[in-house]
Amino acid sequence: MTTATNTTPKDVGALARDPAWFPHALDANRRLLALARIDRNGLSNEPFLDQRMEKSVTGSMTASFDDLAAAAPANPMPSFIFHTAFCCSTLMAKALDANGAVLALKEPNVLMEAANVLRMAKGAGVETARKTVSATVNLLARPHQPGERILIKPTNTANNIAPLIVASGAPVILLYGDLRGFLLSVLKKGEACKAFTRKQYTIFALDGEGVAAIPERQALGFTDLQIAALVLRHQMEMFARILSSGAANVRSLYYRDLLKDPQGVLKAAAAHLKLDLPDDKLAANVGAVFSKNSKFEDQEYTPEERSRDERSLEDRHREELDLIEGWARQLKLAVDVGERLPKPLIA
C-alpha cells in the first residue's frame, strides 16, 4: 500500500468530495480518519472492506474526521442490509450491485468502528456518537457516478446502529437466518468461527441489552454452540424490537426465502431499498452470483452444494445440534421471538 502525506486544511474540501478516498479506519480518541485510495471497481469487487481489501488499495492518508465531516456535501441517504451473520448477506449485496446504478459496500470497517463509538458512549457523549455515525454514513454515501445509489451492508457487529438508521428514514432490510443454519455454519467453519462467535458475544454484551443481562460468570460456563445460540438470539431480539416500532421503511427477510427464489426476492428487495435495477441486470447478477462462493469468486458453489454440505454436517452432529436447539427453545433474553420475524419483505 502506498502511503501519502497527511492532508492540510486547504485540501480537505477536495478530499471530502472525492469518493475514491474511501474512509477506512476511525481513531475515535484522536478524531482522525484513515483513508484508502480505491476505485469503484475495487469497492464493488472486495467482499470485505476492511484490512482484507489491501490488494485493491493504491494509496493512503490520514485527515481530521471532523474537518472531513464538515466539508463533505450532504449525500442521499444510502440503503441498508443489516444481518445476523451466516445468512447469505454477501450474496445478496453482490447481486444488487450494478455499475452505474448501485454500488454495494460490504462490511466497511469504519462503520463498525463508528458503531463501537456509539456502543461505548455514555450520557452527553451519546449525541456526539450519533453524529459520528451519521457523518461516517454520509462519507460512505458519496457516489462515484451521477445518480448511482449506495447500498451498505454493515458487519453484524454494527447492528447496534440499525435503530438510528431506521429512525433516519433510510430504506432497510433486516436479513436473518435460523438457529440450525447458524449452528451448522459455526461447525463448518471450525475453531476460528467458534472464537469469532465468542468475540461477538463479548461485544454484544456491551450493548446494555440482550446478552448483557447474563452474568459474566455464568457465560464462562457456556459451550461454543450455546454461545453461538445466544449470539443469534441477541440479534433476533434486537431486530424484533426494531420491527415493532412501526416504521414503514424497514422489512425483514428470512434467508431461506432468498435462496428459494433469488430473482423474485431480489426484485422485491430492490423495490423496497429504492434501487433502480433493470430486470435483465438483476437476472444476470443472480445467474453469476448464486453459483459462486460469495467470499471467493473463483470457487463454484451452487445452492445444491450448500444443501449437500448442510446435510453432511447434520449427519455428523445431529445429536449435538438437537441438544442445543432444545436448550435454545427455552431462551428469552427480554423479547419474545418466533421462528419468523414480523413485517416480512415477502408475504
Residue 2: per-residue pLDDT: 47
Residue range 223-268, pLDDT digits in tens: 999 999 999 999 999 999 999 999 999 999 999 999 999 999 999 9
CA distances from 258 to 35, 128, 291 (A): 34, 37, 14
Contacts made by residues 333-338, CB under 8 angstroms, sequence distance 24+: 333/209, 333/210, 333/211, 333/213, 333/214, 333/230, 333/233, 333/234, 333/237, 334/209, 334/210, 334/213, 334/237, 335/237, 335/240, 335/241, 336/240, 337/233, 337/236, 337/237, 337/240
Q: What are the φ and ψ backbone dihedral angles of 3, each rounded to 5 degrees?
A: -105, 125
Residue 216 and residue 241: Cα distance in Å, rounded?
Answer: 24
Q: Which domains does the chain have, with CATH numbers?
A: 74-328 (3.40.50)
Which stretches of the chain drop beneath a pLDDT of 70? 1-10, 293-303
Q: Which residues of 154-191 are buried (b: 16+ CB within 10 A; e: fewer)?
A: bbbbbbbbbebbbeeebbbbbbbbbbebbbbbbbeeee
96/98 Cα distance (integer angstroms): 6
Q: How many CB atoms lie within 10 A of CB 93?
A: 24
Distance CA 332, CA 92 (A): 29
Strand partners, 36: 22, 60
DSSP code string of 20-41:
TEEEEEEETTTTEEEEEE--HH
**pLDDT score of 62:** 94
Please check whether residue 333 is in contact with residue 233, taking contact to mean a CB–CB distance below 8 angstroms. yes
Report how far residue 93's alpha carbon sits from residue 81's, in angstroms, rounded to the nearest whole number: 8
The pLDDT score that the predictor gives to residue 301 is 65
The pLDDT of residue 253 is: 98
Instruction: Quickly tell me which residue has 480518541 as its cell.
Output: 29
213 CB burial (10 A radius; 0-12, 13-18, 19+): exposed
- Tell me what percent of the chain is helix, strand and coil, each rounded to the nearest 5: 55, 15, 30
Task: Give the pLDDT score at 313.
Answer: 86
Please say whether the dihedral angle defined by the alpha carbons of residues 54, 58, 61 and 65, taken in this order, is positive or negative: negative
**Distance from C-alpha of 201 to C-alpha of 214, rounded to nearest angstrom:** 11
Q: Which three cell numbers stand for residue 212?
A: 448483557
Pick from 108, 96, 101: nearest CA to 42? 108
